[in-house]
């Protein structure tokens, strides 16, 4: 045989494992190398442990809310080390499943850093051995931006470290206004940490619908998170056991921990990209065509190492499309249109399709349906928290082009409502769908009159 493997995958995260496991399942000879832990960012230090932390942090409110329903909750306390140990056990279990899935499919797993050494060559650094493969997939993902230009950046943690802090800090400041910053602000505040978030723009969560961004900002402040916009960190310095963070506006915050959540970078350094001539973009992401193929015809790239949509299900989908195209003779380009997403903020945000701002730019006439209401649970809990739902309709054809939800279970609702939106449902389809009562989601099918219209970029009430 000409090559050692039919496929060699570099990177054992969501995209790489899916590609390796399914191709091996087709009876092909597959090798896969991972330098850290199988499962990748999502499983080991991303989505999965984060969601467990979100659950942990929400108990404080559940205990408070119970009183309105007649419960007396005794003295409560929280033990960080128990949470970490239980989370570690679950992550180890999942990592084992990922590894087992590969081995059951007869893929050969390597626990080593691997780099591209030629169009068909991969160097395994543990024993400096070169293996050959007909096809190579690079799925090495990304790593947090540690902002080396920030004075004192070495004193800061990122999402890589926060999952394994030995102690829960009393106070924390987080830089960034994206998914990670907003989610961890909620987690930390829920666990009783005095939390501040510092974002460089005018409002957190750029790219999301402005109404929801503002609403979330207010709700986070009600939960005790201090949200500072239009500022950045100037420097971070040690001050005894604490850290002093100087902001661009001059204020100095003294805290126990400082976290940088200012985006991620692709892990393409020292990966053999220039040796083999693989094209990278300005930000170091691998450039691929619509079928995930790099400019080298035997090499593909999947997931966050490319500059597409950095979400786990997208990486998995890209892997499935790669398999269809290359191993099933069925050319299939990944579909990156209308991707539902959730931010596990507190309250949660779920969204699919265009924001009002995006739709205003692209569509002449819009009908906007908006509801702000108190979730039923809070009628008795007494909690001052409102839910928001918003539907964006193109009035030319009555198609629902965006739905945005902020409140309990927003992610779950966004996942379901993504199906009709992806199918091209009209507002009439929503209207003739019977409500389930009493739910919050029924609001999505009972908003009969537009709250306002947008005509040629102008709001008309
Ligand atoms: P994001 O891209 O979501 O957010 C980065 C934030 O950092 C933005 O607010 C950005 O501002 C800000 N920023 C960027 N550079 C600087 C800088 N030099 N100084 C100050 N602020 C800066 O990245 P995250 O790290 O939060 O998450 C990475 C990716 O992981 C996400 O994009 C998402 O795709 C994925 N993810 C998904 C989750 C989910 O599905 N629930 C959860 C967590 C992560 P600006 O907006 O102005 O550019």
Q: Go through the chain and tell me how many residues it has.
A: 461
The per-residue pLDDT for 227 is: 98
Q: How far apart are CA 126 and CA 109, in angstroms?
A: 13
H or E segment and range at residue 51: helix 47-66
Residue 264 Cβ inside 6 Å of ligand 1? The answer reads: yes
Residue 437 known to be catalytic? yes
Are the C-beta atoms of residues 204 and 217 closer than 8 Å to each other? yes
Residue 333 in domain: no
Residue 184 Cβ inside 6 Å of ligand 1? The answer reads: no
The pair of three-digit structure tokens given for residue 297, joined into one six-digit string: 């015809």
Please identify, by atom number, the ligand 1 atom nearest to the C-alpha of residue 343. 41
Residue 291 in domain: yes
Atom 46 in ligand 1: residue holding the nearest Cα: 206
138 and 248 part of one domain: no
323 and 351 part of one domain: no
Q: How far apart are CA 335 and CA 160, in angstroms?
A: 30
Alpha helices in 76-162 (DSSP H): 80-104, 159-162
Query: Number of folded domains in the chain?
Result: 3
* 217: three-class secondary structure by DSSP: helix
Residue 262 Cβ inside 6 Å of ligand 1? The answer reads: yes
Q: How far apart are CA 290 and CA 338, in angstroms?
A: 17
Residue 252 in domain: yes
H or E segment and range at residue 304: none
Domain boundary among 261, 291, 315: 261
138 and 16 part of one domain: yes
* 208: three-class secondary structure by DSSP: coil
Residue 336 in domain: no
H or E segment and range at residue 257: strand 257-260
What separation in Å is there between the alpha carbon of 137 and the centre of ligand 1? Answer: 26
DSSP, res 108: E
Residue with tokens 């008309």: 460
Q: How far apart are CA 256 and CA 17, in angstroms?
A: 37
Q: How far apart are CA 233 and CA 242, in angstroms?
A: 16
Q: What is the residue range of 158's domain?
A: 153-261
Tens of pLDDT along the chain (461 residues) come to 899 999 999 999 999 999 999 999 999 999 999 999 999 999 999 999 999 999 999 999 999 999 999 999 999 999 999 999 999 999 999 999 999 999 999 999 999 999 999 999 999 999 999 999 999 999 999 999 999 999 999 999 999 999 999 999 999 999 999 999 999 999 999 999 999 999 999 999 999 999 999 999 999 999 999 999 999 999 999 999 999 999 999 999 999 999 999 999 999 999 999 999 999 999 999 999 999 999 999 999 999 999 999 999 999 999 999 999 999 999 999 999 999 999 999 999 999 999 999 999 999 999 999 999 999 999 999 999 999 999 999 999 999 999 999 999 999 999 999 999 999 999 999 999 999 999 999 999 999 999 999 999 999 98
349 and 436 part of one domain: yes
Cβ neighbours of residue 437 closer than 8 Å, sequence gap 6 or more:
none
| Phi and psi, residue 196, nearest 5° | -125, 140
What separation in Å is there between the alpha carbon of 47 and the centre of ligand 1? Answer: 14
The per-residue pLDDT for 133 is: 98
Q: How far apart are CA 323 and CA 7, in angstroms?
A: 11
Q: How far apart are CA 310 and CA 325, in angstroms?
A: 21
Are the C-beta atoms of residues 57 and 187 closer than 8 Å to each other? yes
129 and 175 part of one domain: no
Please identify, by atom number, the ligand 1 atom nearest to the C-alpha of residue 341. 40
Residue 451 in domain: yes
What separation in Å is there between the alpha carbon of 241 and the centre of ligand 1? Answer: 29
The per-residue pLDDT for 136 is: 98
126 and 13 part of one domain: yes
The per-residue pLDDT for 461 is: 86
Give exposure, 11-34, as e/b (b: 16+ Cβ within 10 Å). bbbbbbbbbbbbbbbeebbbbbbb
Cα–Cα distances in Å, from 453 out to 40, 150, 366, 393, 426? 44, 45, 6, 9, 17
140 and 274 part of one domain: yes
The per-residue pLDDT for 87 is: 98
The per-residue pLDDT for 163 is: 95
Are the C-beta atoms of residues 434 and 426 closer than 8 Å to each other? no
240 and 270 part of one domain: no
Atom 22 in ligand 1: residue holding the nearest Cα: 262
Residue 177 in domain: yes
The per-residue pLDDT for 433 is: 98
What separation in Å is there between the alpha carbon of 206 and the centre of ligand 1? Answer: 9
125 and 169 part of one domain: no
């Amino acid at each position: 045989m000409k090559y050692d493997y039919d496929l060699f995958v570099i990177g054992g995260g969501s995209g790489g494992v899916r590609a390796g496991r399914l191709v091996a399942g087709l009876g092909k000879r597959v090798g896969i190398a991972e330098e850290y832990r199988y499962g990748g960012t999502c499983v080991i230090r991303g989505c999965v442990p984060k969601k467990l932390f979100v659950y942990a942090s929400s108990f404080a409110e559940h205990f408070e809310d119970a009183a309105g329903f007649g419960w007396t909750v005794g003295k409560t306390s929280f033990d960080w080390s128990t949470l970490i140990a239980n989370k570690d056990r679950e992550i180890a279990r999942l990592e084992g499943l990922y590894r087992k899935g590969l081995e059951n499919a007869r893929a050969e797993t390597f626990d080593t850093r691997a780099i591209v050494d030629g169009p068909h060559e991969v160097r395994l650094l543990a024993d400096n051995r070169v293996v050959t493969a007909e096809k190579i997939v690079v799925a090495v993902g990304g790593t947090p931006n540690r902002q080396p230009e920030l004075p004192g950046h070495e004193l800061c943690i990122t999402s890589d470290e926060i999952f394994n802090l030995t102690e829960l800090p009393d106070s924390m400041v987080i830089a960034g206004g994206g998914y990670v910053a907003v989610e961890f602000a909620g987690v930390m505040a829920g666990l009783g940490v005095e939390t501040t978030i510092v974002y460089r723009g005018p409002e957190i969560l750029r790219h999301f619908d402005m109404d929801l961004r503002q609403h979330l900002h207010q709700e986070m402040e009600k939960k005790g998170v201090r949200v500072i916009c239009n500022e950045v960190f100037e420097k971070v310095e040690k001050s005894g056991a604490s850290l002093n963070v100087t902001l661009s506006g001059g204020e100095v915050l003294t805290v126990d921990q400082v976290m940088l959540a200012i985006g991620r970078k692709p892990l393409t350094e020292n990966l053999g990209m220039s040796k083999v001539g693989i094209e990278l973009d300005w930000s170091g992401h691998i450039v691929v065509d619509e079928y995930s193929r790099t400019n080298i015809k035997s090499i593909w790239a999947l997931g966050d190492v490319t500059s597409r949509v950095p979400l786990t299900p997208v990486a998995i989908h890209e892997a499935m499309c790669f398999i269809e195209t290359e191993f099933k003779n069925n050319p299939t380009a990944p579909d990156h249109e209308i991707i539902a997403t959730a931010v596990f903020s507190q309250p949660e945000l779920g969204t699919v399709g265009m924001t009002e701002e995006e739709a205003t730019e692209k569509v002449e006439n819009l009908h906007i349906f908006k509801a702000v209401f108190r979730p039923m649970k809070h009628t008795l809990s007494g909690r001052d928290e409102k839910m928001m739902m918003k539907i964006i309709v193109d009035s030319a054809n009555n198609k629902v082009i965006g739905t945005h939800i902020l409140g309990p279970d927003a992610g779950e609702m966004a996942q379901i409502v993504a199906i009709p939106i992806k199918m091209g449902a009209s507002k009439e389809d929503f209207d003739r769908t019977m409500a389930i009562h009493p739910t919050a989601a029924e609001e999505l099918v009972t908003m009969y009159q537009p709250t306002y219209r947008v005509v040629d970029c102008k709001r008309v009430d």
